Structure 1
């Protein structure tokens, strides 16, 4: 049999230790509202468990109500950390009323003479509700990572164990007797401390790593792929197209008279032109297509599965869309244009050769008057 009081002491010390660990982890790091909430939640749960351990020795009736409210507040902070982490909008409008109402009910029950077991069951029902909500937040999407699934399943198992214990108290029977159900709930709480304590830290690190990888692959001004990331994706698409024997269109794009925009209205307007181009292009580029900024005012667009006619049509759609976009300047508004060179990769052509052909077509469009689409020369067959 588990000594519940000793177990509570161990859990309380463990959760307070997690809070201290998180305080050290976040000190000097970039601010993270989710981690701060999680840290306070761990501290609150640890304090609640220490109060539960000390309650029989203190012998004060008020302590049971304080213990229950501290559990509710701590679990609501943990739920708030999930809400912040996943970016749920207006989560406070739901969480705050539930927290205040359930705390008031527990205090009223304690004031009305409810014994400790009854109060614990009432608090347990609220804790199970929060745990189920956290499990839903983690498991609601099929795209959830393995780490999210592990933490979410752990939350769900903890909620189930607490519900069984609460049912054994209220109904006087259940899958386990009251003592066995209580021990199962505390063991599930131990797993919750270990898995969720480290798990949320790992989730935040996983999110930060994903963000850093995105920053490394993204042009900071336009939000498009940078040159390196585009070339990596383009070469991968080339390999797939050659293996599957499908077309792969490549567009080289240049904003016309870009230097004049900078010289006439300043570099801030030039940056605005690049941003307007990127926003307009994203509006017509399909999900399977890739657009990137190669440098300066030069961009490239990759069209998997496209033949030459489809690539030219895509280029014309982009050219016409850019003509309709307006740049706000310090003087009159300005409508920019683009020149585009189009090729479709030859089955045995490398990426550098295809880009050179598209680049030659781009400069042919420039020489022919700009604001136009030119098709690149075909690959010369070796004799």
Structure 2
């Protein structure tokens, strides 16, 4: 089979156009997905490069050959930059420019040698492919799309390696021209179609990433950024099953912002939204590692506390109430607000299911409100509204010493 560069360049062009259409659609539909835009740019550059290279014909005109290879090599570099961006890494632009310019300088220096040009072409593409494959294998975390893309890139580099050995052999007179033409054609086709496969791998990676983001959005509250009621119900059920298997208690806090409706009506919804976000931030900084904060709707929040008794949850509640009372950085004193907290504990002897536990915590919350708000109540236990964190902590030490809590 005679090696026809013109045909191969047209194949490159058609493949690049096809993949560019796919990335163009993804970029348009998901405009915050920056990696897709970079991969689209890479496909467009290789498309332009294919168009320019097609102008040189089989003889290899100087300007189309240099410019076309420059576009293609930088397009390959963009695939690597896109991989970096996909995994949250910035940079790579200076290295890409260096690889492209270095390749072009070598291409100009070796232009009179067809085999020399082929070596530069293969090397210039293989460098960003190798870098991209390393990143994909390093960060893939079991992602099938990343494995597919990395494998395709390795195949592409293998095709370039075969091509390079053949050109070196031809330069040294160790390879027959007919054998070179036949094998080189297959090697280049291998490189071309490996590009389709690694872009397919990128697409699988993108679908998985977008699906994860959609799943996260489904359990996140838009206003505060914390988990929503749907996630709360799922985690409550999960915690209930875990507690029944392991006979370990857990506690639930239900929280309302005091007089929130009045604040909303008198100061506006923007002010109310600010209060909700501030509470979510304060609560996130006050709970312990492993505790989960949720917004159930309106000004209703919940904190799920694994492996925690009601008395242990009490200390967290007191600390959260105190944190809001002493919060700094408010725009003015009128921005301050208080909360009421209801606490309930799951335990095997209480034989509570998730719904019953919520009812218990809700009843404790209403008791805290009836006692004047700005405090907490524990289901089935005495309310100690006026105690501070230090006083509650001392009671825990007394519990550890076997003394009765008053």
TM-score by length of 1: 0.83
Aligned to 1:353: 356
In 1: Cα distance, 2:106 partner to 2:60 partner: 18
In 2: Cα distance, 1:322 partner to 1:184 partner: 70
Residue among 215, 221, 224 paired with 2:223: 221
Tell me the CA shift for residue 131 of structure 1: 1.2
Q: Equivalences for 1:1-383 in 2 at 5 Å?
A: 3=3, 5=5, 6-24=7-25, 26-27=27-28, 30=31, 32-49=33-50, 55-89=56-90, 91=91, 94-95=92-93, 97-114=94-111, 115-141=113-139, 143-159=141-157, 161-163=159-161, 165-166=163-164, 179=180, 182=184, 185-186=187-188, 188-326=190-328, 328-329=330-331, 331-332=332-333, 334-347=335-348, 348-377=351-380
In 2: Cα distance, 1:187 partner to 1:323 partner: 70
Tell me the CA shift for residue 275 of structure 1: 0.4
In 2: Cα distance, 1:58 partner to 1:167 partner: 22
Q: Decide whether the 8 Å contact of 1:72 with 1:126 is kept in 2.
A: yes
**Using a 3 Å threshold, how does the CA distance of structure 1 residues 2 and 240 change in structure 2: closer, same or farther?**
farther
Q: Decide whether the 8 Å contact of 1:276 with 1:325 is kept in 2.
A: no
**Using a 3 Å threshold, how does the CA distance of structure 1 residues 290 and 153 change in structure 2: closer, same or farther?**
farther
Tell me the CA shift for residue 161 of structure 1: 4.8
Q: Decide whether the 8 Å contact of 2:258 with 2:373 is kept in 1.
A: yes
Gaps of 5+ in 2: 382-406
Q: Give deviations 1:300-345, integer Å, cap 9, x for gaps.
A: 111112223322222223222232334735x535332222111111
In 2: Cα distance, 1:315 partner to 1:266 partner: 28
Q: Decide whether the 8 Å contact of 1:326 with 1:333 is kept in 2.
A: no
Q: Higher Cα Rg: structure 1 or 2?
A: 2
Stretches (4+) displaced over 4 A: 1-4, 24-32, 49-54, 163-173, 176-185
In 1: Cα distance, 2:364 partner to 2:338 partner: 16
In 2: Cα distance, 1:58 partner to 1:351 partner: 77
In 2: Cα distance, 1:324 partner to 1:185 partner: 71
| Deviation larger for 101-110 or 126-135 | 101-110
In 2: Cα distance, 1:327 partner to 1:108 partner: 58
SS in structure 1 at match of 2:58? helix
| Deviation larger for 19-28 or 223-232 | 19-28
In 2: Cα distance, 1:247 partner to 1:164 partner: 64
**Using a 3 Å threshold, how does the CA distance of structure 1 residues 29 and 88 change in structure 2: closer, same or farther?**
closer
Q: Decide whether the 8 Å contact of 2:255 with 2:341 is kept in 1.
A: yes
Q: Decide whether the 8 Å contact of 1:357 with 1:376 is kept in 2.
A: yes
**Using a 3 Å threshold, how does the CA distance of structure 1 residues 328 and 284 change in structure 2: closer, same or farther?**
closer
Tell me the CA shift for residue 4 of structure 1: 6.2
**Using a 3 Å threshold, how does the CA distance of structure 1 residues 151 and 28 change in structure 2: closer, same or farther?**
closer
SS in structure 1 at match of 2:372? coil
Gaps of 5+ in 1: 379-383
Aligned to 1:381: none
In 2: Cα distance, 1:301 partner to 1:280 partner: 12
**Using a 3 Å threshold, how does the CA distance of structure 1 residues 3 and 120 change in structure 2: closer, same or farther?**
closer
Q: Decide whether the 8 Å contact of 1:252 with 1:341 is kept in 2.
A: yes
TM-score by length of 2: 0.79
In 2: Cα distance, 1:123 partner to 1:284 partner: 58
Aligned length: 371
Tell me the CA shift for residue 58 of structure 1: 4.8
**Using a 3 Å threshold, how does the CA distance of structure 1 residues 159 and 239 change in structure 2: closer, same or farther?**
same
**Using a 3 Å threshold, how does the CA distance of structure 1 residues 266 and 32 change in structure 2: closer, same or farther?**
same
In 2: Cα distance, 1:224 partner to 1:106 partner: 49
**Using a 3 Å threshold, how does the CA distance of structure 1 residues 286 and 123 change in structure 2: closer, same or farther?**
farther
SS in structure 1 at match of 2:374? coil
| Deviation larger for 182-191 or 335-344 | 182-191
